[in-house]
Amino acid sequence: MDTQHSLCLERLHDSVRFIPDEAEQRVIRQFVEALLFERLVDYKIRPRTAVGSGASDAEPIYGSQVDFPVGDLRFQCLATFSSYDRVRIAQGSVVRMVEGKPTPFRMAELLRAMEVPLAGKQRLLEELAQTIELHRWNRVHLDHHLHSRRTHGFQELESAIVEGHQYHPSFKTRTGFSLADHQSYGSETGNTFQLHFAAVNRELLRSALPGSEADFWKRELGDGTCEGLAGRLKELGGDFERFALVPIHPWQAKDLRERGFGEVLDSGDLIPLGAAGDFYHASQSLRTLVNATHPEKANIKLPLDIVCTSSRRNLEPHFVCTAPLLSKWIVSLVEEDRFLQDGNRLQLLSEYAAVSYEPEEDEDTAGLLGVIFRESIVGRLAEGETAIPFTALTLVESDGRAFIADWIKNYSAERWAERLIEVVVIPIWHMLVHHGIAFEAHAQNLILVHENGWPKRVVLRDFHEDTEFVPEFLGRPETEPDLTSVDPFFETIPLDDGYRMELVESLRQLYVDTVYVFNLADVSFLLERFHDFTETEFWKLVRAKLDAYAASEVTEASRIASLEADKPRIIVESLLTKTIHRGGTLDYYEHEVRNTLSREAP
């Protein structure tokens, strides 16, 4: 973290006398929610009292007082326990109890008390410190939270949704970014910039481009940009017989030598060509860029050598050039599926082209150069339709009402929720039980298409890394793509290390985590909090829609039953635990929760 611009860690450590501001309170709240949800501390629950923690200000929905220790310290908060055992804490209600009196505290105090190895504690403190700093900066310098975003278009919303992850406490961590980088390249500021390009020796690249390479780049960049890049390369002594183009994020392009590319720069195997072409701005996912000059053109996914919400944002080399093959397979299944074509129930944004830098003897830089081209939702809507990022559904606007408040007023909470479940849950569930394919369908990877607030269909995007299937459970196993034809790597790895899983249970876990636990559970809580439509009612609707799907016999009952999706208790991912232990991409930390959709008492 850049010390010149980052929140001074000493201030977090030592200025305990200061009352935490809204930014730090939010980080504390989400950190404690995760501590309790993942059972990392013991806690006791009792009914809320008139004199309890934050009792005078907190909404009535937070009806429980929770007491919990962290090391030798004692804390208290107001909370409610939501679907799938999610813990919801009233903002500002977490206090430290000192001699029986509620006392404000700093995030660093809580972390110091945790029994975590010192190195992990320091790293976690740095992540949370940057989250506090960037969240605070956004609130001071941007006005998204001061004005309603309900009339924003899709591209504008991608920047205006500044809230970040609603569960992960490191929801603004961008380790490697300075504050100046955040201002230049963060999604929240909406700043636009050009891509940089490099000419790279073809022997160091793997490509999956549609049609001829020259025609592809002319289509994507335009004749003028292609000619300009070719001219620069010629001036530098190269040509496109030996070299191929690779776009680079301008932040990544600044320090190629420091990132380990010194040898290929010196050998002439990598030639920087500078900035060119259209202007882009970051989407919510930061490394995916949307075209500001021509919004209907491709979204560009580029690697960033940073850690964001505790995950490194490079592009795993073996999961880049498989993206077009995977997209083609899934798109064809959807197009040939009568159920999914009925009413245009599911739409996919295809990842149709990719380039990956894969040097044989330099694993340190593998994954730091590459690109995936994904279709834009702009231009793929019918007249009268509007698209919004799914994350918008849980926003609370400057007027204190939910982003979706007017829709609920127009259609009623029950009718609207029932329709949302029908157009979002059922298509993704169908892909799982009928086709045997699970997606990481969390809110950031979904788009909702609506007409005047009435849900019409769900759009899936960004599925090149976390699409999973069990070969024997595929609905049409003869269509399984030959991944080894793209990359022999897939011949060498065991099940569970790529797209192919060993157990159907793994598919259920991915589905439940991303569709229910860390996604629709936020929607159901918002509907109860703001619109008096209880979570119990919401999940009864989900149960009813799933039962109606089963009764339709679109999919064999035995396939649905094999997922055991209505067990009383289920395994979910422990995101904070993974962060604390610095888990890698394939590391999985888990805990058990009650299954809200179970037919039995847990």
Res. 600 pLDDT band, cuts 50 70 90: confident
User: CATH topology of 18-152+164-171 equal to that of 381-565?
Assistant: no
Contact residues for 561 (Cβ-Cβ < 8 A; gap 6+): none
The DSSP code sequence of 288-301 is EEEESSSTTS-EEE
- CATH T-level topology, domain 381-565: Transferase(Phosphotransferase); domain 1 (1.10.510)
The answer to whether the CB of 387 falls within 8 A of the CB of 393 is no
The DSSP code sequence of 240-289 is TTTEEEEEE-HHHHTTTIIIIIHHHHHHTSEEEEEEEEEEEEE-TTSSEE
The answer to whether the CB of 153 falls within 8 A of the CB of 404 is no
Q: Tell me, what's the pLDDT at 466?
A: 86
Mean per-residue pLDDT, 567-589: 83
Other CB atoms within 10 Å distance of the CB of residue 336: 11
Asked whether residue 169 carries a pLDDT value surpassing 80, the answer given is: yes
Calpha distance 212→234 (Å, rounded):
21
Mean per-residue pLDDT, 547-555: 96
Q: At what angle do helices 213-221 and 223-235 cross, to 10 degrees?
A: 120
Q: Tell me, what's the pLDDT at 1?
A: 40
Any idea which residue has 């962060």 for tokens?
Answer: 579
The answer to whether the CB of 540 falls within 8 A of the CB of 103 is no
Asked whether residue 3 carries a pLDDT value surpassing 50, the answer given is: no
Q: Tell me, what's the pLDDT at 312?
A: 77
Q: Tell me, what's the pLDDT at 167?
A: 94
Mean per-residue pLDDT, 107-126: 88
Q: CA dist 250 to 205, 261, 264, 295, Å?
A: 20, 15, 19, 19
In percent, the amount of the chain with pLDDT more than 90 equals: 84
Asked whether residue 100 carries a pLDDT value surpassing 80, the answer given is: yes
Calpha distance 79→53 (Å, rounded):
10
Out of 253-257, 366-370, 429-433, 583-587, give the one with best mean pLDDT.
Answer: 429-433
Any idea which residue has 């326990």 for tokens?
Answer: 81
Q: Which two tokens stand for residue 321?
A: 């050039």
Residue 579 sits at the vertex; the CA angle it makes with 577 and 582, to the nearest 5 degrees, is 110
- Is residue 4 exposed (0-12), middle (13-18) or buried (19+ Cβ within 10 Å)? exposed
Q: Tell me, what's the pLDDT at 16?
A: 44
CATH code of the domain made up of 18-152+164-171:
3.30.310.280
Res. 583 pLDDT band, cuts 50 70 90: low
Q: Tell me, what's the pLDDT at 15?
A: 42
Which one-letter DSSP state was computed for residue 402?
B
Asked whether residue 547 carries a pLDDT value surpassing 90, the answer given is: yes
Calpha distance 442→490 (Å, rounded):
26
Pairing of strands 44-47, 446-451: unpaired
Radius of gyration of the chain (CA): 24
Contact residues for 223 (Cβ-Cβ < 8 A; gap 6+): none
Asked whether residue 508 carries a pLDDT value surpassing 80, the answer given is: yes
Residue 554 sits at the vertex; the CA angle it makes with 548 and 556, to the nearest 5 degrees, is 100
CA-nearest of 548, 546, 584, 588 to 571 is 588
Which residues make beta-bridge pairs with 206?
356
Res. 5 pLDDT band, cuts 50 70 90: very low
Residue 289 sits at the vertex; the CA angle it makes with 251 and 250, to the nearest 5 degrees, is 15
The answer to whether the CB of 437 falls within 8 A of the CB of 431 is yes
Mean per-residue pLDDT, 171-199: 94
Res. 187 pLDDT band, cuts 50 70 90: very high
Res. 14 pLDDT band, cuts 50 70 90: very low
Q: At what angle do helices 413-433 and 521-531 cross, to 10 degrees?
A: 170
The answer to whether the CB of 546 falls within 8 A of the CB of 561 is no
Q: Tell me, what's the pLDDT at 482?
A: 97
pTM above 0.85, yes or no: yes
Any idea which residue has 């799914």 for tokens?
Answer: 390
Q: Residue ranges per domain, the chain? A: 18-152+164-171, 179-327, 381-565
Q: Tell me, what's the pLDDT at 122?
A: 85
Contact residues for 114 (Cβ-Cβ < 8 A; gap 6+): 70, 71, 121
Q: Which two tokens stand for residue 494?
A: 């065991």
Which one-letter DSSP state was computed for residue 393?
G
The answer to whether the CB of 2 falls within 8 A of the CB of 179 is yes
Q: Tell me, what's the pLDDT at 463?
A: 87
CA-nearest of 519, 363, 566, 517 to 37 is 517
Asked whether residue 56 carries a pLDDT value surpassing 80, the answer given is: no
pLDDT tens-place string over residues 469-490: 999 999 999 999 999 999 999 9
Mean per-residue pLDDT, 220-249: 97
* Averaged pLDDT of the chain: 92
Asked whether residue 568 carries a pLDDT value surpassing 90, the answer given is: yes
Res. 579 pLDDT band, cuts 50 70 90: confident
Q: Which two tokens stand for residue 19?
A: 């009352």
Residue 125 sits at the vertex; the CA angle it makes with 301 and 42, to the nearest 5 degrees, is 110
Contact residues for 403 (Cβ-Cβ < 8 A; gap 6+): 149, 150, 392, 393, 394, 395, 396, 397
Q: Tell me, what's the pLDDT at 121?
A: 85
Mean per-residue pLDDT, 266-284: 97
Asked whether residue 580 carries a pLDDT value surpassing 90, the answer given is: no
pLDDT tens-place string over residues 277-333: 999 999 998 999 999 999 999 999 999 998 887 677 899 989 999 999 999 999 999
Largest CA distance in the chain: 77
Other CB atoms within 10 Å distance of the CB of residue 299: 24
Asked whether residue 586 carries a pLDDT value surpassing 60, the answer given is: no
Asked whether residue 427 carries a pLDDT value surpassing 60, the answer given is: yes
Contact residues for 453 (Cβ-Cβ < 8 A; gap 6+): 404, 406, 407, 410, 411, 416
H helix or E strand, kind and range, residue 134: helix 118-141
Q: Which two tokens stand for residue 332?
A: 């064809």
Mean per-residue pLDDT, 350-360: 95
Calpha distance 83→444 (Å, rounded):
20
Residue type, 76: Q
pLDDT tens-place string over residues 24-33: 999 999 999 9
Q: Tell me, what's the pLDDT at 7?
A: 38
Res. 75 pLDDT band, cuts 50 70 90: very high
Collapsing DSSP to helix, strand or coil, 454 comes out as strand
Calpha distance 391→157 (Å, rounded):
10
More confident residue, 342 or 492: 492
Give the sheet arrangement for strand 454-460, strand by strand.
346-348, 454-460, 446-451, 386-389
Q: Which two tokens stand for residue 296?
A: 């209907």
Asked whether residue 172 carries a pLDDT value surpassing 70, the answer given is: yes
Q: Which two tokens stand for residue 347?
A: 């739409």
Asked whether residue 13 carries a pLDDT value surpassing 80, the answer given is: no
Q: Tell me, what's the pLDDT at 79?
A: 97
Q: Tell me, what's the pLDDT at 2?
A: 42
Calpha distance 230→115 (Å, rounded):
57
Asked whether residue 257 carries a pLDDT value surpassing 50, the answer given is: yes
Res. 105 pLDDT band, cuts 50 70 90: very high
Asked whether residue 50 carries a pLDDT value surpassing 90, the answer given is: no
Any idea which residue has 């300009």 for tokens?
Answer: 228
